[in-house]
Amino acid sequence: MFYDDSKQQWIIRNQYFDYRIGLKNNQCHHIGFLPVGLWTDDLVDQIMELDLQPEAEVHIYRENRAQHHGLRWIGCSASQRAEYQSFQIVAGENEQELVITTLDVRSQLQINYHYRIYEHSPALTRFVSLVNLSEVPISIEHLGSFSLHGMPFFNKAEFGEQIMIHSFPSSWYWEGQKKSVSAEEAGLFSAFNLASRIYHSFGRAL
């Protein structure tokens, strides 16, 4: 787990996978998640040329809300504006944690991205925390905890069974129980899928 200053990228790597986050125009973006050994400089450069999504989807105050055929478009207003502030890497006895801090200046909402890897496990723990730095409540309409993509850059079926995705859905009927699927079961290798899977939670105010 380290920061490459020349490329403005954080590389989270263990013996199993290579997860990358990068800065573009001083904003934090997800680059991709691949098994170790599959990343190339050309591939990273190709991705960074694209229009990238924010690393998390945080929407506040019903901004830019639109209705269309009964479907509600939410978007990610705060995280789309948020700019990079700082990062820190904390080493524990058997784990490391990277925390990247960004700030939406308009609302004074601080968005922190947390990543944990473990010495004896292929697991990656990924979550988002929000801090209200303003003097008024902030209405949080939507929090997209994380997004996984990068899957279309390889298509070997065995990788789809090896990568497990664990989440804790926010719906009450799950009662705090985790939901686990393989990347193959999630449909990330389907020719009709955009090879992205997004997990989200909902809240009221911060």
Range of the domain at 114: 54-201
Determine phi and psi for 47, rounding to 5 degrees.
-65, -40
40 class by beta-carbon count within 10 Å (0-12 exposed, 13-18 middle, 19+ buried): exposed
Has residue 6 been placed in a domain? no
Has residue 1 been placed in a domain? no
Has residue 25 been placed in a domain? no
Query: Which tens digits make up the pLDDT trace of 30-73?
Result: 888 788 888 888 988 888 888 877 888 787 876 655 544 444 44
Is the pLDDT at 178 greater than 90? The verdict is: no
Has residue 194 been placed in a domain? yes
In sequence order, the 6+-apart residues with CB closer than 8 A to the CB of 120 are 94
Has residue 206 been placed in a domain? no
**Do 103 and 111 contact (CB within 8 A), yes or no?**
yes
Has residue 10 been placed in a domain? no
pTM above 0.75, yes or no: no
Assign residue 184 the CATH number of its domain: 2.20.25.570
Has residue 192 been placed in a domain? yes
CB neighbours (10 Å) of residue 133?
A: 12
Query: Which range has highest mean pLDDT (53-62, 94-103, 175-184)?
Result: 94-103
Has residue 83 been placed in a domain? yes
pLDDT value, residue 25: 93
Instruction: Give the number of domains in the chain.
Output: 1
